[in-house]
């Protein structure tokens, strides 16, 4: 079956001497100015019933650790209630604008692993080689927490990789919107006997 043939319509251009007219959009409604004494206000319902039940109080939903003041914090009252602000709990990010980095870069990280990683004797006897995939959180202060093994080799390699990552010095934290934030970081560690 032959392929379909498409025909394009020829593009027409206006004649050389033709003028193009551009009109501004027309306003939807005309603006009307009225004196204040002629404006009619809707009636206000002054019969407000109080809510049944106890007054509700609780933490103020603002970010930060300082004390926040909310006017009319108690339902049915006009007093000001002062309570500590709720702490901002953030889950670690997976990807941010500026990812966390080991102090000194990747070359310093490789040197750190060469100096501190010990090949487990069980893995050495069994001839185990490969990669252990680790995951950890770099907090906003650069500290390392929540170390876990994503994919391990066994024979003591998982425990050795966890030990070395837990003992790592602080990293440069990750940044999102110019603020240091916790970031979940994945790192493969290669075990190879030479």
Residue 118 resides in a domain: yes
Residue 128 resides in a domain: yes
Residue 19 resides in a domain: no
CA dist 176 and 135 (Å) reads 20
Full-model pTM: 0.54
Phi (first) and psi of residue 163, to 5 degrees? -60, -45
Q: Which DSSP state fits 63?
A: S
Q: Higher model confidence: residue 99 or residue 10?
A: 99
CA dist 186 and 133 (Å) reads 7
Residue 185 resides in a domain: yes
pLDDT tens per residue across span 172-182? 999 999 999 99
pLDDT confidence bin for 20, thresholds 50/70/90? low
Residues ≥6 apart with Cβ < 8 Å to 194: none
Residue 132 resides in a domain: yes
> Domain holding 111: CATH number?
3.30.1150.10
Residue 183 resides in a domain: yes
Cβ atoms < 10 Å from Cβ of 110: 12
Residue 165 is predicted with a pLDDT of 94
Residues ≥6 apart with Cβ < 8 Å to 74: 55, 56, 57, 81
Q: Structurally, how many domains does the chain consist of?
A: 1
Q: Helices then strands (H, E): number in the chain?
A: 3, 7
135 is in which domain, residue-wise? 105-191
CA dist 54 and 67 (Å) reads 24
Residue range 146-163: average pLDDT?
92
Q: Which two tokens stand for residue 102?
A: 């080991």
Cβ atoms < 10 Å from Cβ of 183: 23
Q: Which two tokens stand for residue 157?
A: 């390699």
Q: How far is CA 14 from CA 7, 10, 18, 36, in A?
A: 22, 13, 6, 53
Whether the per-residue pLDDT at 183 is higher than 70: the answer is yes
Residue range 124-150: average pLDDT?
93
Residue 176 is predicted with a pLDDT of 92
Q: What is the mean pLDDT of the chain?
A: 77
Phi (first) and psi of residue 48, to 5 degrees? -100, 125
pLDDT tens per residue across span 24-69? 666 566 667 777 777 777 666 666 555 555 555 555 454 444 444 4
Q: Where is average pLDDT lowest: 81-90, 99-108, 140-149, 167-176?
A: 81-90
pLDDT confidence bin for 138, thresholds 50/70/90? very high
Contact indicator for 145, 170 with CB cutoff of 8 Å: no
Residue 134 resides in a domain: yes
């Amino acid at each position: 079956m032959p392929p379909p043939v498409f025909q394009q319509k020829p593009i027409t251009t206006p004649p050389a001497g033709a003028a193009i007219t551009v009109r501004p959009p027309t306003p939807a409604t005309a603006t009307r100015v009225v004196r204040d004494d002629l404006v009619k206000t809707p009636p206000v319902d002054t019969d407000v019933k109080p809510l049944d039940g106890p007054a509700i109080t609780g933490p103020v939903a603002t970010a930060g650790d300082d004390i926040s003041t909310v006017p009319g914090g108690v339902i049915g009252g006009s007093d000001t209630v002062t309570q500590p602000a709720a702490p901002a709990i953030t889950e670690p990010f997976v990807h941010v604008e500026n990812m966390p980095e080991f102090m000194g870069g990747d070359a310093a990280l490789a040197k750190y692993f060469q100096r501190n990683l010990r090949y487990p004797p069980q893995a050495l006897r069994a001839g185990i080689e490969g990669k252990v995939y680790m995951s950890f959180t770099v907090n906003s202060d650069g500290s390392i927490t929540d170390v876990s093994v994503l994919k391990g080799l066994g024979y003591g390699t998982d425990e050795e990789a966890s030990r070395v990552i837990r003992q790592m010095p602080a990293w440069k934290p990750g940044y999102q919107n110019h603020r240091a934030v916790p970031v979940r970081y994945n790192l493969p560690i290669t075990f190879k006997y030479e």
